[in-house]
Amino acid sequence: MALKSTICKAVLDVSDVDRNYYAEHALTIARHPSETDERMMVRLVAFALNAHEHLTFGKGLAEDDEPDLWHKDLTGAIAHWIEVGQPDDKALLRAAGRAARVTVYAYRSGAELWWAPIADQLARAKQLAVWRIPTPASRMLSTLAARSMHLQCTIQDGGLWVSDAAQNVQVEPVALKVREA
């Protein structure tokens, strides 16, 4: 019998000074049986950094043809495709063909090793941005994981602070590839 996803609830209070975006998001997160706390929390960080009223969680690990997060416009076209982890270059090129913007949030210490051999193949994907979440930050984020969370996320000058009632984690994403305007 296959294991079922664990359902987590999160209230995310986003204060994005950089984009002048302030909103509360009540989120239901289906955590795949193979997903770690660290990965789930990086997905929440990706949500906070790109928060929008139409941003939703995709099937991610459970479905190859869907991202971890996506923002579809009112016509159903994919405005933003967001992946967490280290997807292969072919999947990213497919995503770039389907979406106006594609963003990857790589985490763990092997992110540069993953990126180096595929950087040249993905240079032509002008709508692609690739960010690395530093390992100490992603590990600290996992300490905030719970079945029910209320998190405050403050974004300013490209940095992010995520806090709950007990602790605060600072995340400084590092650009590996910046999207061309």
Q: How confident is the model at residue 64 (pLDDT cuts 50, 70, 90)?
A: low
Q: What is the rounded distance in angstroms from the CA atom of residue 32 to the CA atom of residue 29?
A: 9
Q: Residue 166 CA to chain centroid, in angstroms?
A: 23
Answering whether pTM is above 0.85, one says yes
What domains can you pick out in the chain, each with its CATH number? Answer: 37-146+157-177 (3.10.640.10)
CA–CA separation, 4 and 6 (whole Å): 7
pLDDT at 6 over 80: yes
pLDDT tens track for 113-161: 999 999 999 998 999 999 999 999 999 999 999 999 999 999 999 999 9
Question: Under 8 Å CB-to-CB from 93, ≥6 apart: which residues?
Answer: 121, 122, 125
As a whole number of Å, the CA-based R_g of the chain is 16
* H helices present in 66-172, as ranges: 89-98, 111-115, 135-142
pLDDT band of residue 106 (cuts 50, 70, 90) is very high
In the chain, % of residues over pLDDT 70: 96
The dihedral of CA 107, 19, 31, 130: what is its sign?
A: negative
pLDDT at 62 over 70: no
How confident is the model over 65-92, as pLDDT tens digits? 789 999 999 999 999 999 999 999 999 9
138 contacts 180 by C-beta, under 8 angstroms: no
Q: Distance (Å, rounded) from C-alpha 58 to C-alpha 52?
A: 15
Q: What secondary structure letter does DSSP report for 62? A: G
